[in-house]
């Protein structure tokens, strides 16, 4: 879409108090540092502003919400319509009723882990090493070291595409391994999380253990999107994790241009510098094909791929 077409889209949008930009490269907002422009990028100022956007945005305009892009591969042709990123107003963290934290969906998982530690609450340490936001964690049911967001979730607050506010229980969202059944159109704005009273020093020690283990085993400083593929169900993979299948199919370190399967953790793809989204997606598909051909196991993408290929019309969301 051209700048002129983006401007025409702006004309059809309600007036907002937050930030509104046209033709913004989404590579600035993704960990992979790849991705074409958003026709329009919006950071609503607060919940009222978000409601104004949703109530006033014509139904035919596609709307895509992103967090900090740590699980996203945005294709090189960019994303049609409006891309929404929550502003810092949605990042508040407040203690509630002794063992709970009410957290905005733009809060970083690591900030929430630290707030829980400061409040003397255990059970949220696993968030210390996940680089996304609470919104992304709700959508992905993010987890690590035996815990997932659903284990700590009391309720989640979300807006639908028409601007109506809903409160969900974890059961209502259908949360399971790296997935929720909640409709794609939902925009999470808040979560209520529950911990248990714990010893601050022990919580700190557990968080240090988690972040240390990650630094030793994952390319956390690289341009990456975290785990590329979900671990397949044990009955289909003979109990092998995705990284073991990728390794077994001979893909550790495999490179196509600047896209590479990490040597350190082979379920991570890496942009070594100038990879495009197409390079990374093609490499991911090569890995899937080799694992299928050599080991007979189908890998499913965990990374969310969105947008259109360079010079092509919009692809369906995966
Ligand atoms: C180095 C590294 C390590 C990682 N380790 C882990 C790990 O241990 N465990 C794990 O589970 N993940 C891990 N990840 C993946 C990633 O951090 C998580 O999936 C995270 O929850 C994504 O959050 P985000 O804010 O970056 O979301 P994004 O990547 O921006 O978006 C991911 C999905 O969430 C949706 N989304 C984002 N915000 C909202 C919102 N407010 N409302 C509705 N939908 C929303 C997007 O539409 C998209 O579908 C890792 C990633 C990296 C780069």
> Which CATH number is associated with domain 229-301?
3.90.78.10
Token look-up 């063992």 returns: 99
Q: Which of 223, 222, 213 is nearest to 126 (CA)?
A: 213
The alpha carbon of 61 is separated from its chain's Cα centroid by a whole number of angstroms, namely 22
Beta carbon of 73 within 6 Å of any ligand 1 atom: no
Domain 90-212 classified CATH 3.40.50.740?
Answer: no
Whole-number Å distance, alpha carbon 193 to ligand 1 midpoint, is: 17
Which secondary structure element, helix H or strand E, spans residue 206, and what is its range?
A: helix 200-217
Query: pLDDT tens, 77-128?
Result: 999 999 999 999 999 999 999 999 999 999 999 999 999 999 999 999 999 9
Beta carbon of 136 within 6 Å of any ligand 1 atom: yes
Evaluate if pTM is beyond 0.75: yes
Domain boundaries, the chain: 3-88, 90-212, 229-301
305 is catalytic: no
Query: pLDDT tens, 183-238?
Result: 999 999 999 999 999 999 999 999 999 999 998 999 989 999 999 999 999 999 99
Residues 6+ apart with CB under 8 A from 229: 242, 246, 267, 284, 287, 288, 299, 300, 301, 302
Residues 231 and 241 sit within 8 Å (Cβ to Cβ) = yes
SS3 177: coil
Between CA 277 and CA 275 the distance in angstroms is 7
Which secondary structure element, helix H or strand E, spans residue 120, and what is its range?
A: none
Predicted pLDDT of residue 54: 98
Q: What number is the average pLDDT over the span 72-79? A: 97
Beta carbon of 220 within 6 Å of any ligand 1 atom: yes
302 is catalytic: yes
Task: Check whether 256 has a pLDDT greater than 50.
Answer: yes
End-to-end CA distance of the chain: 21
Query: Rg of the chain over CA atoms, in angstroms?
Result: 20
Beta carbon of 44 within 6 Å of any ligand 1 atom: no
Half-sphere exposure of 232 (CA within 13 A, CB side): 20
Q: Which of 47, 57, 154 is nearest to 100 (CA)?
A: 154
Q: Which atom of ligand 1 is nearest to the CA of 218?
A: 1
Task: Check whether 316 has a pLDDT greater than 60.
Answer: no
Residues 6+ apart with CB under 8 A from 198: 120, 121, 122, 123
Whole-number Å distance, alpha carbon 294 to ligand 1 midpoint, is: 30
Class of domain 3-88: alpha beta
Beta carbon of 226 within 6 Å of any ligand 1 atom: yes
């Amino acid at each position: 879409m051209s700048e002129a077409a983006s401007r025409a889209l702006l004309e059809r949008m309600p007036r907002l108090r937050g930030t509104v930009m046209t033709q913004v490269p989404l590579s600035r907002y993704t960990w992979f540092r790849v991705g074409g422009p958003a026709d329009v990028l919006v950071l609503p100022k607060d919940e009222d502003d978000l409601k104004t956007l949703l109530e006033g945005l014509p139904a035919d305009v596609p709307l895509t919400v992103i967090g900090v892009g740590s699980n996203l591969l945005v294709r090189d042709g960019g994303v049609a319509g409006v891309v929404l990123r929550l502003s810092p107003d949605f990042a508040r963290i407040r203690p509630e009723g002794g063992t709970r934290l009410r957290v905005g969906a733009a809060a970083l998982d690591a900030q929430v882990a630290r707030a829980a530690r400061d409040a003397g609450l255990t059970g949220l340490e696993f968030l210390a090493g996940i680089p996304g936001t609470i919104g992304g964690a709700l959508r992905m049911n993010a987890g690590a070291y035996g815990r997932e967001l659903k284990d700590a979730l009391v309720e989640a607050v979300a807006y639908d595409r028409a601007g109506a506010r809903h409160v969900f229980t974890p059961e209502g969202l259908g949360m399971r391994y790296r997935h929720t059944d909640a409709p794609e159109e939902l925009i999470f704005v808040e979560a209520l999380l529950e911990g248990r009273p714990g010893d601050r020093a022990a919580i700190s020690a557990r968080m240090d253990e988690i972040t240390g283990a990650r630094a030793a085993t994952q390319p956390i400083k690289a341009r990456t999107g975290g785990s590329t593929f979900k671990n397949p169900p044990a009955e289909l993979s003979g109990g092998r994790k995705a990284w073991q299948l990728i390794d077994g199919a001979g893909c550790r370190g495999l490179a196509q241009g600047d896209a590479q399967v990490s040597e350190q953790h082979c379920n991570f793809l890496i942009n070594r510098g100038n990879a495009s989204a197409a390079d990374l997606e093609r490499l991911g598909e090569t890995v899937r094909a080799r694992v299928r051909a050599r080991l007979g196991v189908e890998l499913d993408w965990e990374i969310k791929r969105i947008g259109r290929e360079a010079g092509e019309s919009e692809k369906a969301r995966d």
